[in-house]
Amino acid sequence: MTETTHMVHAWAAIFFVAAFAVLGEVMIASGMRQLGDLDDIRAARGLGGTILAVLGNVRFVIGALCMALNFFAMLAALSLANLSLAGPAIAALTYIGNAIAAKFFLRERVDKRRWLATACVAVGVFLLSR
């Protein structure tokens, strides 16, 4: 395998891992928004009822499955790319991907302040991981 092909495979794996993470987090966030404040549910139904409500939410379950796939995809990505590249790249892509997905799929109001915060975290995590 040439150096270029190897890099293409490594970056494809990194994008794949980040995509699973974004999909998982957005589905979990959507499920939690659908359920409403868990503190209120716990007050009404107790801890057991709250856990059942969360585990019975389809969006949450799909999100959790995506996070599990993300974990295994991460293991595969680490066999193609070094941790020093994969770790910060996946973290930064996930932060930015989450902000874009939250704006378009969760209809969150992502104002300048939140874009700036997301960019600061993405760059900050990248610098910390070096």
Partner 1 sequence: MKHTLRPSQYAILIAIMLTASVGDSLLARGMKEVGAVDLHHLGLLWHALFNPYVDAGIILLIGFFASYTTALSWADLTFVMPATAFGYVVIALMGRYWLHEQLTWSRWAGVALIVCAVGFVAGGPSRTEHPNLDQMDAGAGR
* From candidates 18, 57, 90, 93, binder to partner 1 by CB under 8 A: 57
* From candidates 9, 15, 62, 103, binder to partner 1 by CB under 8 A: 103
**Maximum pairwise Cα distance, the chain:** 61
Amino acid residing at 26: V
Instruction: Tell me if residue 78 falls in helix, strand or coil.
Output: helix
> Site for partner 1 (CB under 8 A): how many residues?
43
Tokens found for residue 78:
């680490």
Q: Does 65 bind partner 1 (CB under 8 A)?
A: no
Q: Does 98 bind partner 1 (CB under 8 A)?
A: yes
- 8 to 47, contacts with partner 1 by CB under 8 A? 25-26, 28-29, 31-39
Amino acid residing at 112: K
Give CA angle at 63 (47, 99), nearest 5°: 110
Distance of CA 67 to the CA centre of its chain: 7
Residue 57 or 70: which CB sits closer to partner 1?
57
Selection from 25, 4, 7 nearest residue 91 by Cα: 25
Instruction: Give residues in contact with partner 1 (CB under 8 A).
Output: 25-26, 28-29, 31-39, 53-54, 57, 60, 95, 98-99, 102-103, 106-111, 113-114, 116-118, 120-121, 123-130
